[in-house]
Amino acid sequence: MSEGASGIKRRDFLKVVGVSSAGAGMVGCSTEKVEHLIPYVVPPEEITPGVATWYTTVCGECPAGCGMWVRTREGRVVKVEGNPRHPISSGALCSRGHSSLQGLYDPDRFAGPMVRDANGMRQISWEDAEQLLADRLGDGDYLFLTGSTGPTLGDLIDGFVSATGGTRVEYDALSEAPLREATRLAFGRNVVPSYDLEAARLIVSFGADFLTSWLSPVAHGRGLARMSSVDENGGEKGRLVLVGPRLSLTGQNADDWLPITPGSETLVALAMANVISGGGNDAGPYAEIVRAYSPQSVSQATGLSADQITELAERFAAAGPSLALGPGFSGQHRNATASNLAVLVLNFVAGNVGRTVSVNDPDLGSASAPYRDMETAIRIMAGGGAQAVLVHGCNPVYSLPAASGFAAAFEAMPFKVVFASSMNETAEMADLILPDRHFLESWGDSNPRPGLHALSQPAMQPVPNFDSKQTGDVLLSVATLMGSDLGAATFYDYLRTSWQRLLGGSGDFETAWRDALKNGVLETGVSSGGAASLRSPDAALVFDAPAFDGDGDFHLMVHPSARFGDGALNANRPWLLELPDPVSKITWHSWVEMNPHAAEGLGLRDGDMVTVASEHGSVEVPVWTYPGIREDVVALAMGGGHTGAGRFADGNGVNAMALLPAETEEPSGGLVNLATRVSITPTGERRPLATIAGATEQHERGITPAVALAELGHQEEGEAEGDVHGQLKELQGVGGFVPVATDGEPADFPLPGAEYGEYVDAHDGPRWGMAIDLDKCTGCSACVTACQSENNVPWVGENQMIMGREMHWMRIERYYETVHADEAGPVDIRFLPMLCQHCGNAPCEPVCPVYATYHSPEGLNVQVYNRCVGTRYCANNCPYKLRVFNWYSYTDQIPEPMNMQFNPDVTVRDEGVMEKCSFCIQRIRAVQNRTAVEGRGMSDGEVVPACQQSCPAEAIVFGDVRDENSRVAQIIQNERTYRVLDSTVNTQPAVSYLKKVTFHDVESGAH
């Protein structure tokens, strides 16, 4: 062996090899970083690869404070869900909550602290940044503008400003100040009332959009669904009446609509109180005021007849517990406090206070600060009364009306500090940016109502791409640098100290702390505030209809977006941008809502660009015609028109605040919102709307039939199903075909008559099915985002949406049945969550040439992505149009670190393949695997798909329809059950719908 066949000596050979390897090694030393794969040497105790770890926390998206479960895999957050133990969310979550993941992994988050110098922003270290902040704050007075914070962080900020000589200004873009002030005036309690929707039998909403943005949308969604749906016996259905100029999503769920003149809610509420209190006699201290507003006297100003008001008032009084909900943010006009007060008086005279309205438990823990403080702050800034300004948790440059002068005053400040996790319009002007952690990476707590506390905990290590630090920690170390001690070294310690007080001396703190973290919620006793009684009215308050600026033809209603809320800090999220707006079904861009008649008068169609101009500013925006808005009103949603909020948010739509005056409502000090008239001028240009709505009516298809309440329980057996099927079978029989032997019960699988082919091997296992109760569905679209998050569904962008290439596996269809904006009457708008129907007789399956779609033995219609060639034949043949195609490799455009969000249990699809709802097959398999390991059978309700899991209205139930005792099997045994298009095309879907129940008569069957 010492000498090779070619005569090379072993030694020489080794020398050559050695030198050349060294050479190769040298060459390899390029500037490129070498990535090392290092396995866990000592695996973290809590992480089992392939098994999810869950943490509880509190959703930080809005002040409602829903409890959250955070699903992590291998140390990364991949999904958030509602915490079932938390009384506010009860396991559900809204779209905005789901989208918080995209806030966490926002690619436009700050990489680290930055300071402004001559050349723009420059990265610095945290030490330098904190030192700089400490130095500058020592110079003199400063302002600390904060958005909504948890109680402990709020305490810390208060402590910080008092120790370091600053002033705190609380600012909430969606402030409920008029409601709070009205409650204080009415009952002497400075709280936002909480409402029990479920207990009411009749709800009158004076425009409050409580399903998407007002107070606590998830809790309200569940409350409304429970209130307004028929129970299993078809009885006890509560009614929702909307009084207001526009149908928001809440309005679309109403049974009756009284389209009143904008701003006249006060008059209607007082006139109703007048009727109920016998002309004002029973209105206590308000007797004098209520007496002045009889139905006859307000009829002219409200646009309703006296009879309509009287009738509504009588129903309101007779309904048992009823509930009137204040105008909300979109009705915040110049007399908004009076409006809210009128609604509270109405509730009081109807005896609802203490039953459905509680002024003992404020719904919001932190005081929503009025605009007046902000105005003062702007004055201070403009007048040079402060040396520095700190901003946390809000984006006033964007969310205040341009007329307020905030931006100019802020820009002129010598030292501006912004604590934010990602770029926004305010941060763009900052001199020092201190990247905050996302709430999923940080400690915190919430106190959404007295007696209810919850902890936020970091569910993962901070996203490694961003060098962030929790604001609480920054404040503590800056305070230390400035020589004050706030009592803790880190915010974690501060929080624990604060909770030590809360948990009290009783028992072991560590155990209680761990339990609070584990459960995600802590309920303590609450002292009753005693019965509320009306106090004497404030003489200064004016109850008349408010004034409007300008002389345009239309009142402008600026309302919180049903997707974003105010959109100040959460607009850079493709999931929300691409979520079809629950009302308009438009994605990405802004639109102005106009009544079709009004649009016709101006010669406008959907997609025509118009200039909306008020005395304060103007915007250019496309028209969307909507029968659910009065002819003299146009509406714009907040949340669009960002200029510095990141790559996804910027350039979409317009900022409606540009049209508003900067005016304070008296006496609450909130921002006046419904304040101006606008003119609409066509620009002559058009743009296609990025909408998913192909048609707004059912065109006699019977897609979402409804049944009148009076008809329930009277249907003869078999009458509900048309005879079409029988005739069809007869015809097939003549032609020699063997028809399917039965109409196909949902449990039938394989189908009778299908002895051949792929169905033959079906076993006796489960037959998965779903029931969706359309009487409960509110169209809030939380399921759509939940599904997108669970199933790695990509977003496609505005242009692709315009082309009609949405990728959502679910869509909420919306059909108008009865909508009249010119007279009071019933309103009937139907929602239908449409997803793959997993047909028992699926039209998509036989046409696929390569078996990329086939039927699983458990009755699922499954899609094999790897086998798909992309002929799109299946999508053509799907009558429900729920197969979506990857026209491009959409997932390739997803920037780092957003890909960290991908659910590792679900494949990421490449270009050229079809995809669709899988009934969350990964969850089915996970449960099957677990039960197999544990050696037991699956129990009903163990498999919960993402859509069901997230539904605030509890409209979706999934399970094994073959198991007679399963919930889904029992629910579909209902006279309201129908299956979409089944009688037309014999698809035998696994998804059963329960018809919506209406109070007014509907044509049964087809409609």
Partner 1 sequence: MAADLSRGALTHPDIQSLGDVNRDLLKPLGRPGLGWWMLFGLAAAGVGLFFTSWGYQIVKGIGVSGLNGPVGWGVYITSFVFWVGIAHSGTLISAILFLFRAPWRQSIYRMAEAMTVFAVMTAGLFPLIHVGRVWHAYWLIPYPNSRFLWPNFRSPLLWDVFAVTTYFTVSATFFYLGTIPDLAAARDRAVGLRKKFYKVISLGWRGTDREWHHFNKAYLFLAALAAPLVLSVHSVVSWDFAVTIVPGWHATIFAPYFVAGAIFSGCAMVITLAVPMRKAFGLEAYLTTKHFDALAKLCLLTSLIVLYAYMSEFFMAWYSGEPAERQAFWFRLFGHYWWASWTMLVCNAFVPIMLWFKRIRRSVPALFVISIFINIGMWFERYVIVVTSLSHEYEPFAWGVYRPSLTEMGILVGSFAWFGFWFLLFTRLIPPVAIAELKEVLITPMRGDRTAEAAAGEGGQA
Q: Which residues bind partner 1 (CB under 8 A)?
A: 692-695, 697-701, 703, 757, 800, 803-806, 811, 813-815, 832, 834, 843, 846-851, 867-873, 875-877, 879-881, 884-889, 911-914, 981, 984-985
Nearer to partner 1, 320 or 843 (CB): 843
Both tokens of residue 371?
């605009």
Cα 139 to Cα 388: distance, rounded to the nearest angstrom? 9
Smallest gap from residue 726 Cβ to partner 1 (A): 15
Both tokens of residue 500?
């030590």
Smallest gap from residue 692 Cβ to partner 1 (A): 8
Smallest gap from residue 228 Cβ to partner 1 (A): 23
Nearer to partner 1, 504 or 757 (CB): 757
Amino acid symbol at 111: A
- Asked if residue 358 lies in contact with residue 570, where contact means CB atoms within 8 angstroms, the answer is no
Cα 286 to Cα 213: distance, rounded to the nearest angstrom? 31
Smallest gap from residue 740 Cβ to partner 1 (A): 14
Nearer to partner 1, 234 or 739 (CB): 739
Cα 142 to Cα 498: distance, rounded to the nearest angstrom? 26
Nearer to partner 1, 71 or 811 (CB): 811
Cα 269 to Cα 265: distance, rounded to the nearest angstrom? 6
- Asked if residue 473 lies in contact with residue 458, where contact means CB atoms within 8 angstroms, the answer is no
> What percent of the residues of the chain are helix, what percent strand, and what percent coil, each to the nearest 5?
30, 20, 50
Cα 749 to Cα 497: distance, rounded to the nearest angstrom? 60
Nearer to partner 1, 270 or 868 (CB): 868
Nearer to partner 1, 687 or 701 (CB): 701
Could you give phi then psi for residue 83, rounded to 5 degrees? -85, 115
Q: How many residues does the chain have?
A: 1007
Q: Chain centroid to CA 140: how far?
A: 41
Smallest gap from residue 29 Cβ to partner 1 (A): 35
Q: Per DSSP, what are the bridge partners of residue 434? A: 419
Amino acid symbol at 496: R
Cα 510 to Cα 495: distance, rounded to the nearest angstrom? 13
Cα 300 to Cα 392: distance, rounded to the nearest angstrom? 47
Q: Burial level of 148, CB count in 10 A (0-12/13-18/19+)?
A: buried
Nearer to partner 1, 532 or 913 (CB): 913
Smallest gap from residue 982 Cβ to partner 1 (A): 11
Smallest gap from residue 796 Cβ to partner 1 (A): 9
Whether a cis peptide bond, with omega within 30° of 0, leads into 750 is: yes
Both tokens of residue 387?
């040396």
Nearer to partner 1, 728 or 906 (CB): 728
Nearer to partner 1, 55 or 795 (CB): 795
Smallest gap from residue 873 Cβ to partner 1 (A): 6
Cα 908 to Cα 957: distance, rounded to the nearest angstrom? 27
Smallest gap from residue 805 Cβ to partner 1 (A): 5
- Asked if residue 217 lies in contact with residue 780, where contact means CB atoms within 8 angstroms, the answer is yes
Smallest gap from residue 779 Cβ to partner 1 (A): 12
Smallest gap from residue 925 Cβ to partner 1 (A): 22
Q: Are strands 202-205 and 239-243 parallel, antiparallel or unpaired?
A: parallel
Nearer to partner 1, 57 or 886 (CB): 886
Report the candidate in 310, 312, 304 with the shortest Cα–Cα distance to residue 239.
Answer: 312
Smallest gap from residue 738 Cβ to partner 1 (A): 16
Q: Per DSSP, what are the bridge partners of residue 312? A: none
Place of tokens 């028929």: 230
Cα 986 to Cα 994: distance, rounded to the nearest angstrom? 18
Report the candidate in 186, 780, 986 with the shortest Cα–Cα distance to residue 532.
Answer: 186
Q: What's the number of CA atoms in the CB half-sphere (13 Å) around residue 291? A: 8
Nearer to partner 1, 450 or 912 (CB): 912
Nearer to partner 1, 490 or 984 (CB): 984
Smallest gap from residue 872 Cβ to partner 1 (A): 3
Nearer to partner 1, 390 or 884 (CB): 884
